[in-house]
């Protein structure tokens, strides 16, 4: 690597040598299906349509007329909030069902954020539903509040199950509040979170057996059954069936385990017919290594090398038990996987020029992208931010790749800036974020930018590229935590 002529002081380096590559030995890979822009609108329209149908059914069922008196008004509001809460609960399930169209359109980090927002909205509406229905019935009953509650639970079909379901959903929601979640191990939180499916299942009978809107209208019955069946079938197909089928079909086994340093491990896996797997550099899978207890937990890792139709490779930092265990994997260990997932791939590209920005372990998908992206000399720039010389990984590979592909590589090393949020290290923080970026990539505004790294650094990097004139739709991001 040559020292860069740019103003970034120590550690800023660039390479540019050699002839364009001929990538030998690669099989013809499965085609990555396009993701049309209208899919986003179609998904949004679907959600709003279901909401519209729910409200329309409530109106047709006399919901508006019932607002005339206090008692019936409360019951009516309770019914509407319960129906919208149910709709949102099912939307929540659909958001996380890994439906290819939805996953490819939004990406899992955005889906997780939306799932969280929809979840809390649905939970709040469920509380309104319980309170309003109970008060509404109590207002029109001679028995008072407590007798009405007991009557509900004991005499209405499915209500006891609904109470149990509600308790579970309350537990899941409380553990998802940020403060509570931060205190739990990820695996414990995730396991608890899966109980939401049980809570949802337990709430169904009361809707079917006592819900006026379910029982009185054929259209309503068909609508709700369709939504429930679509949600259940989606989960079964894309969260269970497809991962199982792909894992069995491709029979992935660990081929090689290599230490990049004492905190980072690379694992190469070999499988059958991998050229049929529609995966691209920059994407990730959920991995399960069948090496003993603990295989039930899946961890997401991006590919750290471009898929070649024969092998898949990941590189992981040892953060907790799951990632540290990778270092002791033995060749021959079977691997189950879910995926590929993620939007950080060639398919989202809209421009010839690409800037890849990575910090820390976020270099893994960028390493794969640098290898795979279709590029002419000088079209791709990789900017790799590392905390220290010791913490830099894959640098030899990056240099060799940048050389072969005639890409530009900048490795910017140094402790993170403490005085302000910045993508630059402390020793370069006197420079403006945009100014420094423009010095390395003068025409940055004409690039598609891919960003992956630690959360704070990614925010600073995103801000810098946006302020440098890159339109938001040309900034592509993969978060390693959500
Ligand atoms: C899309 C994506 C791609 C990733 N790619 C890489 C990569 O290429 N290399 C790499 O070193 N790391 C990557 N990570 C991070 C990696 O998944 C976590 O560091 C790893 O799962 C930690 O597991 P653990 O059991 O060692 O630690 P834990 O202590 O169990 O978890 C530490 C933290 O990791 C995150 N995490 C753990 N399991 C999951 C999960 N199943 N889903 C989402 N987040 C989880 C949580 O934020 C958790 O707080 C990626 C994460 C995501 C979401």
Ligand 1 atom with least separation from CA of 341: 1
pLDDT at 438 over 70: yes
Q: What is the mean pLDDT of residues 399-415?
A: 95
Residue 289 CA to ligand 1 center (angstroms) comes to 15
Find the residues whose C-beta lies inside 6 A of ligand 1. 185-187, 284, 298-302, 314-317, 319-323, 361, 364, 478, 480-481
Ligand 1 atom with least separation from CA of 302: 8
User: What whole-number distance in Å separates Cα of residue 400 and Cα of residue 396?
Assistant: 6
Residue 259 CA to ligand 1 center (angstroms) comes to 18
Residue 481 CA to ligand 1 center (angstroms) comes to 7
- Does the model's pTM come out above 0.85? yes
For 2-16, 150-164, 274-288, which range has the lowest pLDDT when averaged over its residues? 2-16
Where does residue 155 fall: left (phi above 0), alpha (psi -120 to 50 degrees), or beta otherwise? alpha
Q: Which residues pair with 408 in a beta bridge?
A: 381
Residue 314 CA to ligand 1 center (angstroms) comes to 12
pLDDT tens-place string over residues 98-135 = 999 899 899 888 999 999 999 999 999 999 999 999 99
DSSP letter string, 91-134: HHHHHTTT-HHHHHHH-HHHHHHHHHHHHHHHHHHHHHHHHHHH
User: What whole-number distance in Å separates Cα of residue 480 and Cα of residue 455?
Assistant: 8
* C-alpha distance across the termini of the chain, in Å: 35
For position 25, what pLDDT does the model report?
52
Instruction: Give the list of residues 6+ apart from residue 261 with CB closer than 8 angstroms, or none.
Output: 390, 391, 393
pLDDT tens-place string over residues 287-332 = 999 988 777 789 999 999 999 999 999 999 999 888 999 999 999 9
């Amino acid at each position: 690597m040559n020292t860069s002529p740019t103003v970034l002081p120590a550690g800023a380096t660039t390479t540019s040598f050699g002839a364009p590559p001929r990538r030998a030995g690669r099989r013809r890979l499965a085609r990555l299906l396009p993701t049309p822009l209208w899919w986003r609108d179609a998904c949004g329209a679907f959600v709003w349509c279901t909401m519209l149908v729910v409200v329309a059914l409530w109106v047709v069922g006399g919901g508006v007329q019932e607002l005339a008196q206090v008692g019936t008004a409360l019951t009516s509001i309770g019914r509407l909030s319960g129906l919208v809460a149910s709709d949102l609960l099912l939307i929540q399930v659909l958001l996380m069902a890994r439906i290819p169209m939805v996953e490819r359109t939004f990406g899992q980090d955005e889906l997780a954020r939306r799932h969280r927002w929809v979840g809390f909205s649905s939970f709040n509406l469920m509380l309104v539903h319980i309170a309003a229905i109970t008060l509404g019935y109590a207002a029109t009953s001679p028995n008072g509040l407590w007798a009405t509650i007991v009557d509900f639970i004991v005499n209405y079909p499915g209500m006891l199950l609904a109470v149990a379901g509600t308790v579970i959903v309350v537990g899941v929601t409380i553990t998802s509040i940020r403060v509570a979640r931060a205190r739990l191990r990820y695996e414990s939180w995730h396991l608890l979170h899966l109980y939401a499916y049980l809570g949802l299942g337990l709430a169904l009978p009361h809707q079917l057996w006592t819900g006026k809107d379910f029982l009185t209208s054929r259209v309503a019955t068909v609508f709700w059954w369709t939504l429930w069946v679509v949600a259940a079938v989606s989960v079964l197909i894309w969260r269970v069936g497809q991962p199982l089928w792909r894992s069995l079909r491709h029979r992935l086994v660990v081929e090689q385990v290599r230490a990049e340093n004492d905190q980072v491990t690379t694992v190469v896996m070999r499988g059958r017919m991998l050229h049929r797997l529609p995966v691209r550099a920059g994407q990730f899978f959920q991995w399960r290594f069948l090496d003993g207890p603990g295989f039930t937990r899946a961890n997401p890792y991006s590919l750290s090398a471009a898929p070649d139709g024969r092998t898949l490779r990941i590189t992981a930092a040892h953060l907790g038990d799951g990632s540290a265990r990778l270092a002791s994997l033995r060749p021959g260990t079977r691997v189950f996987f879910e995926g590929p997932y993620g939007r950080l791939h060639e398919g989202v590209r809209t421009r010839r020029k690409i800037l890849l920005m990575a910090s820390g372990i976020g270099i893994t998908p960028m390493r794969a992208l640098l290898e795979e992206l279709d590029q002419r000399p000088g079209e791709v720039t990789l900017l790799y931010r590392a905390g220290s010389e010791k913490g830099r990984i894959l640098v030899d590979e990056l240099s060799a790749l940048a050389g072969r592909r005639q890409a530009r590589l900048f490795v910017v090393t140094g402790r993170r800036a403490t005085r302000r949020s910045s993508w630059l290290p402390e020793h370069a923080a006197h420079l403006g974020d945009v100014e420094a970026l423009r010095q390395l990539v003068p025409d940055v505004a004409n690039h598609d930018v891919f960003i992956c790294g630690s959360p704070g650094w990614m925010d600073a990097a995103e801000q810098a590229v946006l302020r440098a004139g890159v339109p938001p739709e040309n900034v592509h991001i993969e978060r390693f935590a959500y």
